[in-house]
Structure 1
Amino acid sequence: MNVKRINYDEKVVGHVEAPMGVGVFVVETGKEGGNMTQMVADTRKLATTSWGAVVVVASADPGFLAAFAEVSLRCRLLQWDTRLLLVTRLAPQELRDLLSDHWVFSMMNVLLVNAEERQEERRARRRRRRRRYGLYTHLPYGPHGPHQTARGGSWTPDSGLVLSPGASVFQEKYSSFHGAAVPVTVRPWMPNWMEAQTATEGGANDTVYSGTDYLALKTVAETLNFTVNQVEARDFVEIDRLVEGREVFLCPLIHSMLPERLERYDFTRWYTFLHRVFAMRTPAPTPPWASLVTPLSGEVWAAVVVATGLAALALRLMHCLGGDWYPTLGNGLLQLYKTLLGQDLAQRRLTATATRLVINAWLAFSLIVGVAYRTNLMAALILRSQPPRPETVEELVQAVDRINIPPYGKYWKDFYLSSPSSVYRAVGELLFVGPSIEEALELAAKEKKLPYNVYIHAVISNRMFLDYAIASNFSSAASGPTLYTGKGSVDTVPAGWIVPQGAPYKRQLDRLLTAFVENGLFLKWHRDTMEEGRVESLRRQKEERGAEETVGQGGGDRALTLYHMQGPLCILGLGLGLAGLAFLAELVLGRWSAARPRRISFLSWDEFVKLRFPWIKNNGLYINHSCKTVTTASVPEETLVHIFDKLPLDSHSIQSSALYFINYYSPLLFGEIKSSINAEVDIGYVKLE
C-alpha cells in the first residue's frame, strides 16, 4: 500500500495497523522523488507474492498521483490481476484529466474513490459532519465512445456501497471494444502477413491482405469487436519502438521470444515455435554428361576396374602358361568389356575348362553390376543429381563468408555471441546486421566472384518465411530453386505477438490464440497460404515462359530431352573423333610404309612351327612370302586359322599379289577365309588330288 500522509486522512492512516498480508508505505510531503521508485519496487515485490493483490493509494495531491502513475508504469507494478484502488479528493474536471492522461489509470484495472460533499451537506457541516464517496472508472473503449469516465456508484457511512445499474466495483474493460479503432502496426512478412495491390472498379488501388497472422487478427477483431487502425512502420526496429512507447497496442506478427526483447515489451502466449534455418545459393548441379558416372560411387568404379584387371590377368597367365588354346590379353579384355556391356560372348578360344570358370564368374559379376548401373542411370538421366552442400550449422560456419540479417538481428547477434557453444559464437561473428531481408536474399542468390575466390553469403530466418520466399521469388520451372534451406535448424524458439508492457488486454488475446492453436486454425491457415503461393508462383512461371502447362497438381510423363542425353552423345562424338584421327594416322603411316623398300624374308616350316606352333609335329606346311602362297598338308583347320590371323593380309601388303590356299582336307574353309579378306586381293583355291 503506497500512502501519502495528508491532513484530511491523517487520523485514518495514522491508526491503520498492518495485518498479515498487508504492507503500509508512507511517503511524506516533500520527499516524493527520493524514495518513490524504491517504494514502488518494494510494493511490486509484495504484490507478486500473492494472487489477486490490491494496491491502495490515498492522496489528494494530483502531482503525487501523476508521479506514482509514471513510476509504477516504469517499474511494471500493475498487471490486470493486480487491482489499484485510488482514494483521493479532486474536483470533477481534475478527476477526469487524471484518469485519461495516464496509461495506468485509464487502461489498467483501477477504481477511483473520490470524496464528495453535497451543498446541503455543507450547510449542515456544523451540525453533523457527513461524507459521500463516489466510485469512478475510466473506460478506454466503452459503449458510449472511447475514453469515457463512468461513475459506478457511491459509498456513505450510513448507506454503505450503492452501485449503479449494470456496474461493478472493478469492471471488465476489454471483453468488447465496442467498434473502436485500435492502433496496430505490422510489416509484410511472408507467409504470416502479406499485402498486394489490386485495382478496383473505379481505377483506384486497393490493398488486399493475406497470411496466417492476418487471418488470426481478423478473427480476433471480429470476436472483440474492434477495427484495425494500421500505423505504418519503416522496419522492424520502428515496430519495436512503437510498441515499447505504447503508440500502438499490438503488433500481430510472429516474434521470437528473446530475453533482450522481454525487457522492452511483453508477448502474448506463444502459439508456435520458430525453427530458424539458413538459406544459401543452391550449388550448380552436376553437368548432364556426369550422369554416366554418378550412378555408381567412386569406390564401386574402382572395384569394377580392379575386378576387370584381375580377370584379364588370369586370362593372360593362362595364355602364357597354356599357349594358344587360351585367349590372349587383347582378346580377353575385349570379351570382358563386351559382356560387361551386355553384349554377346565369342566362344573361340574359350573351350578350356579353366577359361570357362573365369568367364562364368565374370558373367555373374557383370550381370549384377550392369543391372545396378542401368537402373541408377535411368534415374540419373531424369533426376538431376546435386553436389554436396552445407546442411548443418557446423558446415555453414566452414562454408560461408558472411551471414546477413536485418537490423532487428542485433538481438540475435548478442544472443549467439553470449552462447557457451563455439559453433554459435562463430555464427555470431559471421552475422552482419544491416540489409533488409529482401536485400539479404538477393545477396545470397547472387554469386559474387573475387579474383581468387567466390564470396558466399547466407541468410538466417525462420523456415516458414524462407520456404515461402524461395517458392515465390527464387524458383523457376526450368532450373528449380535458386536458394535452398539447410536440413538442420540453427535454433528453435517460441514465438508470439508483441504488446506493450503490462497490456491489460493480453488475457483476451491469450484466450483467443489458445483456441486457435487447440483447434488447428494456424495449421490450416498456413497450409492454405502456402498453397495459394505455390499456385500463384506456377501461374507466373507459366506466363513468363509461355508454355501450355496447367497449374494443377498432376503432371504427365516426363520425356528425355537432348539435355539429358548429353552423356551418350558426348561419348559417341568422342569415339567418332578418335576414329577419324586414327583413320588419318593409318593413311599417313600406310603411305609411308608403302614408300619404304621392303625386305623379303623366308621362313622355313621348321622355323615357323618352332616359333608359333610348337604342337605341330609334321612338316606339312610351307609359306612363301614372295608369292603369298600357303601350302598345307594334313594341318588342322584351327592351325590354318591361327596362321591366317598372323599373316599381313592388309590391302597394302598383298594388293598386287595372289594368295592361294592349297589344302587336301579343308575345301570349305576357303569360302570363310575369302569373305573375310579384302576383295581386292586375288584369292584362289587349289585342291590337290
Structure 2
Amino acid sequence: MAVQKSFAVAAILFVCLQPATTKLPVFGRVDEGWVKEALDVVLAEASASHCSLIFIMDKTSSYFYEALMIRVPATKTGGDVVLDVGDDGSVGVNLTMTQVVAQARKMRLMSWCTSVVVFSDNPTFLSVFAEMADNGRLMVWETKLLVITRLPLSNLQNLLQNYWTFSMMNTMFLKLNTSSGKKHCQIYGHMPYGPTGSHVAQLGSLKSGHVLAYLSNRTLFPEKYNNFHGMKINLTWIPLTPYWMMMKQPGPNGTEVTTFSGREYWIMENIAPILNFSLNPLPYTGWDPVSQDILIYNCNETLEDS
C-alpha cells in the first residue's frame, strides 16, 4: 500500500453551472466575519487540525469567498490551492463539477484525513454536487462533509433525504439564519436508522456569541451505523460455496422453507445482533447484476484508494 502524505490544504473551487430553471431564494447580505467565526467553531469541534480542508462553492456565493479570505491565511499550515473561476470563465481555471470532484478526490487520497466544506444557497448546485460526489467516489466514511447554506429547512430536508452523499455518508448541514436581525445557526444531519425510522435530525445550534449547543445528547457528525434499531437489512449475495449457500427444505402444510449458510452469511448473522438488525437476503437474479453493482465498484474503490 502506498504511503500517503499528510498536509493541510485549503482549496477554493468555483463552479459555473447553467442557470437554474427554478427561481432561487432571495437572501440579503451576510456579515462575512460572522460566517467565518461560525465556520471556525464547527471545524474546531469536528475536524482535527492536521486534516486537509477542501472548500467548494458556487459562483454566486461571494460572501462565502470573503469569509474564507478572512479565514484561510490564519489557518495555513501547509500547501494552499486556490482555483478561481470568473463569471464568464475567462479568469483562472474553468472547472466543471466533474473536474472539481476529481480534483477533490485526488487531494483526499493524498491526505491522512479530509474535511470537505461546501458553500451554496442553490439547491440545484447542491444536488449536482451530491450526484457527482457519489459517481466520482469522493466520499468515504472517514471524510467529513459540511454543507453551509441559507436555504429553507424544506430544501435541506429534501436534499438530506434524497441524495446518498447527504443521507448515508458522514454529512452535516449548517443552516445560517439572519432573519429579524438575529444571527444564529442550526446544524442538521440525516439519520437513516432510528426508533421511528429514517429522519432528519437537528444535531445542535450556534447561538449568540457562537456558543455551540447540542440537542438530545447528540454530537457533531454522529455515527449512523452503530445501531440499526431492529431494521431489516437487504443483502445481495452470490451462491458461491463456501461463502453463500441456499437450501430449500419442506416446511409446515406443504410449504417450502429457504435457509442460508456459508462463511459470509454466518459472519453477517453474528454481526446482526450486535448492531441490532435482521437479515433479508434478496432473491438471486444472476451474477451480472450483483457483480456490476457491488463487487466491481468496491474493487475499483479499494484498488484506487490503496
TM-score (norm 1): 0.33
**Residues 106 and 84 of structure 1: CA distance in aligned 2, closer, same or farther (over 3 Å):** same
Equivalent residues of 2:146, 2:172 under 8 A apart: yes
**Which protein shows a greater Rg?**
1
Q: 1:237 pairs with 271, 275, 288, which one?
A: 288
How big is each residue's C-alpha offset from its partner over 1:119-162, in whole Å with a ceiling of 9 and x where there is no partner? Answer: xx52xx3xxxx21110001111123312x110011013425211
| Aligned-partner SS, 2:117 | strand
Equivalent position of 1:44 in the other structure: 105
Deviation at 1:222, TM superposition (A): 2.0
**Residues 95 and 237 of structure 1: CA distance in aligned 2, closer, same or farther (over 3 Å):** same
2: CA distance, partners of 1:53 / 1:174: 20
Equivalent residues of 1:4, 1:29 under 8 A apart: no
Equivalent position of 1:525 in the other structure: none
Matched, 1:72 2:122: no
Deviation at 1:13, TM superposition (A): 3.7
Matched, 1:166 2:221: no
Q: 2:185 pairs with 111, 116, 133, which one?
A: 133
Matched, 1:106 2:158: no
**Residues 64 and 229 of structure 1: CA distance in aligned 2, closer, same or farther (over 3 Å):** same
Equivalent residues of 1:141, 1:178 under 8 A apart: yes
Equivalent residues of 1:3, 1:24 under 8 A apart: no
Equivalent position of 1:2 in the other structure: 56
Equivalent position of 1:227 in the other structure: 278
1: CA distance, partners of 2:85 / 2:192: 30
| Aligned-partner SS, 2:193 | strand
| Aligned-partner SS, 1:198 | strand
| Aligned-partner SS, 1:136 | strand
**Residues 2 and 24 of structure 1: CA distance in aligned 2, closer, same or farther (over 3 Å):** farther
Deviation at 1:165, TM superposition (A): 2.7
Equivalent position of 1:17 in the other structure: 72
| Aligned-partner SS, 1:70 | helix
Deviation at 1:39, TM superposition (A): 2.0
Deviation at 1:200, TM superposition (A): 2.0
Mean CA deviation greater in 2-11 or 38-47: 2-11
Deviation at 1:4, TM superposition (A): 2.2
Q: 2:262 pairs with 211, 216, 239, which one?
A: 211
**Residues 58 and 190 of structure 1: CA distance in aligned 2, closer, same or farther (over 3 Å):** same
2: CA distance, partners of 1:212 / 1:58: 45
Q: How many residues align?
A: 244
Correspondence list, 1:250-289, <5 A? 262-263=299-300
**Residues 3 and 261 of structure 1: CA distance in aligned 2, closer, same or farther (over 3 Å):** closer
**Residues 266 and 224 of structure 1: CA distance in aligned 2, closer, same or farther (over 3 Å):** farther
2: CA distance, partners of 1:188 / 1:49: 38
2: CA distance, partners of 1:75 / 1:30: 26
Counterpart residue type for residue 222 of structure 2: Q
| Aligned-partner SS, 1:206 | strand
Equivalent position of 1:150 in the other structure: 201
1: CA distance, partners of 2:168 / 2:262: 30
1: CA distance, partners of 2:159 / 2:298: 31
Correspondence list, 1:11-410, <5 A? 11-18=66-73, 19-21=76-78, 23-26=81-84, 34-117=95-178, 122=180, 125=181, 130-146=182-198, 148-243=199-294, 262-263=299-300
**Residues 266 and 103 of structure 1: CA distance in aligned 2, closer, same or farther (over 3 Å):** farther
2: CA distance, partners of 1:225 / 1:65: 33
**Residues 30 and 65 of structure 1: CA distance in aligned 2, closer, same or farther (over 3 Å):** farther
**Residues 217 and 29 of structure 1: CA distance in aligned 2, closer, same or farther (over 3 Å):** farther
Counterpart residue type for residue 288 of structure 2: V
Deviation at 1:192, TM superposition (A): 2.2
Counterpart residue type for residue 133 of structure 1: C
How big is each residue's C-alpha offset from its partner over 1:615-638, in whole Å with a ceiling of 9 and x where there is no partner? Answer: xxxxxxxxxxxxxxxxxxxxxxxx
2: CA distance, partners of 1:143 / 1:197: 34
Identity %, equivalent residues: 30
Equivalent residues of 1:23, 1:46 under 8 A apart: no
Deviation at 1:47, TM superposition (A): 2.3
Equivalent position of 2:29 in the other structure: none
**Residues 111 and 150 of structure 1: CA distance in aligned 2, closer, same or farther (over 3 Å):** same
Equivalent residues of 2:148, 2:173 under 8 A apart: yes
2: CA distance, partners of 1:158 / 1:261: 45
Counterpart residue type for residue 283 of structure 2: E
1: CA distance, partners of 2:72 / 2:102: 22
How big is each residue's C-alpha offset from its partner over 1:344-382, in whole Å with a ceiling of 9 and x where there is no partner? Answer: xxxxxxxxxxxxxxxxxxxxxxxxxxxxxxxxxxxxxxx
Q: Which one has more relative contact order, counting CA pairs under 8 Å at least 6 apart?
A: 2
How big is each residue's C-alpha offset from its partner over 1:59-100, in whole Å with a ceiling of 9 and x where there is no partner? Answer: 111111111112222222111111111101111111111011
Deviation at 1:234, TM superposition (A): 2.3
Correspondence list, 1:532-543, <5 A? none
**Residues 102 and 8 of structure 1: CA distance in aligned 2, closer, same or farther (over 3 Å):** same
**Residues 41 and 62 of structure 1: CA distance in aligned 2, closer, same or farther (over 3 Å):** same
2: CA distance, partners of 1:46 / 1:69: 18
Counterpart residue type for residue 299 of structure 2: L
Correspondence list, 1:409-428, <5 A? none
**Residues 243 and 34 of structure 1: CA distance in aligned 2, closer, same or farther (over 3 Å):** same
How big is each residue's C-alpha offset from its partner over 1:96-117, in whole Å with a ceiling of 9 and x where there is no partner? Answer: 1101111111111111101125
**Residues 202 and 234 of structure 1: CA distance in aligned 2, closer, same or farther (over 3 Å):** same
| Aligned-partner SS, 1:142 | coil
2: CA distance, partners of 1:30 / 1:160: 40
Q: CA RMSD in A?
A: 2.8
1: CA distance, partners of 2:205 / 2:269: 40
Counting helix residues as a fraction of each chain, which structure ranks higher?
1
Deviation at 1:23, TM superposition (A): 4.3
Equivalent position of 2:23 in the other structure: none
The unaligned stretches of length 5 or more in structure 1 are 245-257, 268-500, 503-689
Correspondence list, 1:513-592, <5 A? none
Equivalent residues of 1:111, 1:136 under 8 A apart: yes
1: CA distance, partners of 2:100 / 2:229: 37
Equivalent residues of 1:100, 1:106 under 8 A apart: yes
Counterpart residue type for residue 127 of structure 2: A
How big is each residue's C-alpha offset from its partner over 1:287-342, in whole Å with a ceiling of 9 and x where there is no partner? Answer: xxxxxxxxxxxxxxxxxxxxxxxxxxxxxxxxxxxxxxxxxxxxxxxxxxxxxxxx
**Residues 29 and 157 of structure 1: CA distance in aligned 2, closer, same or farther (over 3 Å):** farther
Equivalent position of 2:49 in the other structure: none
2: CA distance, partners of 1:221 / 1:41: 36
Deviation at 1:16, TM superposition (A): 4.1
1: CA distance, partners of 2:136 / 2:253: 52
